[in-house]
A and B are shown apart, each in its own frame.
Chain A
Amino acid sequence: MLTRTSRLVPGARRARHGEQHEGLHYNIPLQDMRTLFPHSLPPRFSMQVKTFSEACLMVRKPALELLHYLKNTNFAHPAVRYVLYGEKGTGKTLSLCHVIHFCAKQDWLILHVPDAHLWVKSCRGLLPSTYNKQRLDQPAEASIWLKNFKTTNERFLSQIKVQEKYVWNKRESTEKGSPLGEVVEQGITRVKNATDAVGVVLRELKGQSSLGGFRLLVAVDGVNALWGKTTLKREDKSLVAPEELALVHNLRKMVKNDWHGGTIVLTLSQTGSLFKPRKAYLPQELLGKEGFDALDPFIPILVSNYSPKEFESCIQYYLENSWLQHEKAHTEEGKKELLFLSNANPGQLERLCAHL
């Protein structure tokens, strides 16, 4: 059974993933991987990439649906929000990666937050914000994100010009009309101002995407972190609410659909979430009332377990890469066993196969 579609030649051909490609794997060139996803893939998938020395994503229905919507978006309307939700291990993050790759090929500007949960838990070095006294800065996370942003969107950084003047401190400031790259550099070099740099970047992009120079894709994984609780504490051991974090505040503004010229694709995630029950997967449960109201209206897209065809395809992929070494793995009974044990859940299947 054919499991590979045609390779995606960068730039030359539009990604033609249609209904007939459902269940097949397609390859992302490693060069693209380094640009698009520096440190932002789920750890198990990046291990698999390293093992097989190639990155293969499966084309699945939720991603296809999203791509279809994206192809037919009207950029004059306010940005539409899509929320990918589903049980644990069904493939929400990788669908998001698929969408990001597609948009990158289409020359969009990618604003990718790999995991919003990382911003609300176990941060060292919380500083009071220079911009707003009540908020808190996270210099480490902000600078990491800026570095990744720079790697992803190199060519846009010189194109986009800043609309206002920003004064960082007594000696440094960014003039109006200077490229965005300077702001990013400023944030990376001066770690203290990194969070403010992030805020500036977000504000500029939001303002300028409406002008139509580029298309903006906001992709946030684990967006329920923005409205949940944090585990961060101030020096006086009082809990920090998410609004008090500058990064979270700016990202919330970004995710609001009061701008046009792009789309927002979000993913819910229970795995990294704080204080949420294990079996919760619906938007209502994970976002809470506040988050749900903030994100309303949105288009929910359910990501479910593998269909039999997709399951078969996944097993074939593993077999081709000689990943399944058990002698019964390619027989019917072996496949039925795997199906039963993993219940067609992609994450579980991957974990099972890793041990086989």
Chain B
Amino acid sequence: MAAPCVFWGAAVSYRLFLGGRVSLALRQGVWKAAAAELQVGTGEKILRLRHTTGVTAKKNVAALRRETYTVDFIKKQIEEFNIGKRHLANMMGEDPETFTQEDIDRAIAYLFPSGLFEKQARPIMKHPEQIFPKQRAIQWGEDGRPFHFLFYTGKQSYYSLMHEAYGKLLDVEKRQNQLQAKGLFSEKTKTKDLIGSRWLIKEELEEMLVEKLSDQDYAQFIRLLERLLTVECSAEEEEFVQRFRRSVTVQSRKQLIEPLQYDGQGMAFSTSEGKRKSAKAEAIVYEHGSGRIKVNGIDYLLYFPVTQDREQLMFPFHFLDRLGKHDVTCTVSGGGRSSQAGAIRLAMAKALCSFVTEEEVEWMRQAGLLTADPRVRERKKPGQEGARRKFTWKKR
């Protein structure tokens, strides 16, 4: 029985299992299921389970919990993915060596056109690491003894990280004390790292450690890292800290600025479009004018008798303090009165970008003048009276 037992243990140790959070009963159920699999797969003799309890495994316990992917399974998937990638490149007539992920996406979208609205429901072909969730390898050996010395804390990766960081801090302080004792203490002058980058957020850290954290844990960790930054540290500590920082783009969006055009009289003007719900508008803003606005050839006072719409038109100019300085001609179609006003407002704001400094463009973007309103009419669902309203509930 020795050989099969060893085999059993080895196989088990390489299988991917979920971490220590799993309850005892479930674990045993999985062990049982795993045993059954082993039976069927390899056709070996029926092995006696090491731990037998009175708990009977539930039938669909495997379905209830997350699917466990073995290392072999993942490796096989990666091989299949690579082969499939080469086949796809051949199909599309491209070079298999230089076939990138964007090419794959384009090819799949071309070969399997889908009309589904939900982007995540469309067919995808991505590397298995991105598809299958990261899972932790089994934490203990065949004798039941855990590999990591902090296993029984419950959050072994987190505590080991904290331990490492604190160890580094102690090293740095020891070094500083030594320098101070020798009298070669120098002030730290480094703050450049902090600009343009941010700490990892809690979700990203969880993803990195494959472990759930609490808010207090995360805060503690960040405080420790910040303390590490305040003292002078060497290159490897810097690198350690930089692992936990992500860069942040200074401007989250680069606004497209329309080029200026010049008409017959030499007056500069700029054109752009705007949309809101189902209304589309195109606005031509002239550089010098007296604040007249014509919509579809009609004066804006007559086109929008409601004050609210005219206030919407006023917003871009009022924000930039250019109320009576520009002339506007616009065409608009579709939608209702409010959405037409919103569409014209967006078009005018975009056109005004070309007459205005970069800083003011950024202010406009932050004020929300340059963002198209994404709200559209929500679909009515069956079984309900409207999009959200349910039918009147009658008790009997």
Contacts and interface: CB of A to CB of B under 8 A. Distances in A.
Contacts of B301: 87, 342-343, 345, 348
B263 interface: no
Contact of A340 (B298, B299, B302, B324): B324
Interface string A335-352: 011011111010010011
Contacts of B298: 279
Contacts of B323: 333, 336-337, 339-340
A343 B321 contact: no
A337 B318 contact: yes
A308 to B, nearest CB: 9
B291 interface: yes
B189 to A, nearest CB: 47
Nearest to A335: B323
A327 to B, nearest CB: 17
Given A341-B310, A341-B314, A336 B324 contact: yes
A85 to B, nearest CB: 15
B307 A341 contact: yes
Which one of B299, B301, B305 has the greatest number of beta carbons of chain A within 10 Å?
B301
Nearest to A345: B301
A352 B324 contact: no
Contacts of A340: 291, 310, 314, 317-318, 323-324
B300 interface: yes
B18 to A, nearest CB: 63
B311 interface: yes
Interface string B316-337: 0110010110000000000000
Contacts of B324: 336, 339-340
A341 B324 CA distance: 11
Interface string A45-63: 0000000000000000000
Contacts of A339: 291, 323-324
B299 A343 contact: yes
Interface string A313-344: 00000000000000000000100110111110
Contact of B307 (A87, A278, A279, A352): A352
Contacts of A88: 302
A339 B293 CA distance: 13
Nearest to A351: B307
A199 B314 CA distance: 53
A341 B311 contact: yes
14 contacts: A87-B301, A278-B302, A279-B302, A333-B318, A333-B323, A336-B323, A336-B324, A339-B291, A340-B291, A340-B324, A342-B301, A343-B299, A348-B301, A351-B307
Interface of A: 87-88, 278-279, 333, 336-337, 339-343, 345, 348, 351-352
Interface of B: 291, 298-302, 305, 307, 310-311, 314, 317-318, 321, 323-324
Given A278-B305, A340-B314, 17 more contacts: A87-B301, A87-B302, A88-B302, A279-B302, A333-B318, A333-B321, A337-B314, A337-B318, A339-B291, A339-B323, A341-B307, A341-B310, A341-B314, A343-B300, A343-B301, A343-B310, A345-B301
